[in-house]
Amino acid sequence: MTSLAQATDTASRNGRLSACPDGVPFCTGDPETHADPREHIHRGPERSLNRADGTPVLTYQVEQWDDDAPEVTIGDADKPGLDSAAVTALADEMIRFAAGLRADAQLVADLSAARDAGDEAVPYILTPGAVAVLAEPEPRSFTINVQERDGGGIHTERCPRWCTSDHQADRDSEHGTFLCDIWHQADEVGLPMRISEGLDTHEDQVLVARLGAIPYTSNPKALVPHVNVELVAGTDMWVDEMGPQAFAAFIDSLAGHVERLRGVHAQLVQACAEWEAER
Ligand SMILES: [Zn+2]
Ligand SMILES: [Zn+2]
């Protein structure tokens, strides 16, 4: 399914070694769009959102007419219709496509800012738009006594940069620590909410997300950096071990849910108005 997609991605990365006679960094230097001596149309590689059979559904290009500001141009077409499985595959493909589109939004912003400042054009590099906050500039490490049943001895573990755990429990364990219990974790991110439970009302965190990695586990999903989301803090109900793509899909489903909540809100406003009118 990704052969065409990979081809367009490869082409866009190679775009930085562009053959553009004017040295426009993203331009592929297509001779046809540079033939007119009065007007050069600089185009980046066409990037496409593809169906599983490779048919492009939606395409875009970064484009610049002569010395005008660079822009993103988008075109679309899709026939025949898709069944449920094909739509699911397309939804996954859209996540990949959106990442490229977001990176190119940044490219256009960077090129425009460089023009305004009269600077050298920035190189064409795909960068994710999101900003990652790293906890510690220096890698940290700690030493544990390994459980006898796990081979015993001393083990020095180096934390990834995002880990904010002090690993106190691992270091203090009287009988030593199992290697598979070492769990690197970033700070949790929760949404505070008033929650009623019977007659008791208290504030708690919901949808608590945490980046983690368990380097010696036998679970391949937990071995690599992943995000867990606890539905309500302390209730031990989780959406487990999401990688970047699964977590992006999780976030998108929440964003979709927010739109449905707005629909419920509109119903509420209507219901209140009718209730007032009938009093
Ligand atoms: Zn060009
Ligand atoms: Zn750690």
Instruction: Report residue 91 as tokens.
Output: 């939804």
Q: Distance from the CA of 214 to the center of ligand 2, in angstroms?
A: 9
**Residue keyed to tokens 């449905």:** 260
Q: For 19-44, how does the pLDDT look when each residue is reduced to its tens digit (9 = 90+)?
A: 788 888 888 889 999 999 899 999 98
**Ligand having the closest approach to the CA of 161:** 2
Q: Distance from the CA of 187 to the center of ligand 2, in angstroms?
A: 11
Within 118-153, where are the H helices?
none
Instruction: Average the pLDDT over 141-163 and give the result.
Output: 90
Q: Distance from the CA of 222 to the center of ligand 2, in angstroms?
A: 14
When mean pLDDT is compared across 81-90, 139-148, 157-166, the lowest value belongs to: 81-90
Residues with CB under 5 A from ligand 2 (ion): 159, 163, 165, 184
**The pLDDT of residue 125:** 35
Q: Are the beta carbons of 4 and 96 closer than 8 angstroms?
A: no
Neighbours of 93 (CB within 10 A): 20
Q: Distance from the CA of 74 to the center of ligand 1, in angstroms?
A: 19
Q: What is the pTM of this model?
A: 0.51
Q: Please indicate whether residue 138 or residue 17 has the higher confidence score (pLDDT).
A: 138
Q: For 58-84, how does the pLDDT look when each residue is reduced to its tens digit (9 = 90+)?
A: 888 888 999 888 888 877 545 566 777
Q: Distance from the CA of 140 to the center of ligand 2, in angstroms?
A: 8
Neighbours of 189 (CB within 10 A): 13
- The residues near 221 (Cβ < 8 Å, ≥ 6 apart) are 240, 241, 243
Residue 124, pLDDT above cutoff 50: no
226 vs 214: CA distance, rounded Å: 9
**The pLDDT of residue 53:** 82
Neighbours of 129 (CB within 10 A): 11
Q: For 205-260, how does the pLDDT look when each residue is reduced to its tens digit (9 = 90+)?
A: 999 999 999 999 999 999 999 999 999 999 999 999 998 888 888 888 888 888 88
Q: Distance from the CA of 142 to the center of ligand 2, in angstroms?
A: 8
DSSP secondary structure string for all residues of 105-117: HHHHHHHHHHHHH
**The pLDDT of residue 98:** 77
Task: Please tell me whether the peptide bond between 137 and the residue prior to it is cis, using omega within 30 degrees of 0.
Answer: no
**Residue keyed to tokens 């219709």:** 81
Q: For 183-210, how does the pLDDT look when each residue is reduced to its tens digit (9 = 90+)?
A: 999 989 999 999 998 889 999 999 999 9
**The pLDDT of residue 127:** 37
